[in-house]
Amino acid sequence: MAVLMEIAEPGQSAGPHESGPGARRRVVGIDLGTTYSLVAAMHTDGYPAAIPDESGEVSLPSVVHYPGEGDPLVGAAARELGYLHPRDTIFSVKRFMGRGLAELQESGRRFPYELEAGEGGMVRLRTGRQAVSPVEVSAAILRTLKVRAEDALGGALAGAVITVPAYFDDAQRQATKDAGRVAGLEVLRLLNEPTAAALAYGLDKGREGVYAIYDLGGGTFDVSILRLTRGVFQVLATGGNSALGGDDFDQLLAARFLEEMGHPEAAPGLVRLALQEARRVKERLTVEPVVTVDFGERAGIPMYRREVSREEFEGWIGELVRTTGLPCRRALKDAGVEAGELAGVVLVGGSTRVPLVRRFVAELFGREPLTDLDPDQVVALGAAYQADLLSGSGREDLLLLDVTPLSLGLETMGGLVEKVVPRNSPIPVARGQEFTTFKDGQTAMAIHVVQGERETVDQCRSLARFELRGIVPMTAGAARILVTFQVDADGLLTVTAKEKTTGLSQQVVVKPSYGLTDGEIERMLREAMVHGAEDMEERLLREARVDAERVIQATAAALKQDADLLDADEQKRVRRAIRLTWEATQGNNHEAINQAVKGLDEATRFFAERRMDRGIRAAMTGRHVDDFVPPAG
Beta-strand runs (E) in 208-365: 209-216, 221-229, 232-241, 290-294, 305-309, 344-348
What is the Cα–Cα distance from 506 to 496, expressed in whole angstroms?
A: 6
Q: Which amino acid is at 589?
A: N
Catalytic (active-site) positions:
31, 94, 193, 215
What is the Cα–Cα distance from 72 to 141, expressed in whole angstroms?
A: 10
Angle at 394 between CA 388 and CA 395, to 5 degrees: 145
Alpha-helical runs (H) found in 563-631: 568-585, 590-603, 605-620
Rg for the chain, CA atoms, rounded: 31
Q: Are 270 and 59 in contact (CB under 8 A)?
A: no
The CA distances from residue 255 to 148, 249, 271, 410, in Å, are 36, 10, 9, 43
Of the candidates 260, 310, 304, the residue with the CA atom closest to the CA atom of residue 281? 310
Q: What are phi and psi of 437, to 5 degrees?
A: -80, 155
Q: Are 382 and 38 in contact (CB under 8 A)?
A: no
What is the Cα–Cα distance from 158 to 160, expressed in whole angstroms?
A: 7
- The dihedral of CA 541, 546, 550, 555: what is its sign? positive
What is the Cα–Cα distance from 474 to 438, expressed in whole angstroms?
A: 10
Q: Which amino acid is at 596?
A: A
CA 374, chain centre distance (Å): 26
Of the candidates 58, 51, 138, the residue with the CA atom closest to the CA atom of residue 92? 138
Q: Which amino acid is at 599?
A: G
What is the Cα–Cα distance from 24 to 13, expressed in whole angstroms?
A: 12
Could you tell me how many residues make up the chain?
Answer: 633
CA 303, chain centre distance (Å): 45
Contacts of 480 (CB under 8 A, 6+ apart): 434, 436, 499, 500, 501
With left for phi above 0 and alpha for psi between -120 and 50, is residue 366 left, alpha or beta?
left
What is the Cα–Cα distance from 330 to 533, expressed in whole angstroms?
A: 18
First to last CA, the chain: 56
Contacts of 594 (CB under 8 A, 6+ apart): 544, 547
Q: Which amino acid is at 611?
A: R
Q: What are phi and psi of 442, to 5 degrees?
A: -65, 125
Of the candidates 73, 53, 220, the residue with the CA atom closest to the CA atom of residue 141? 73
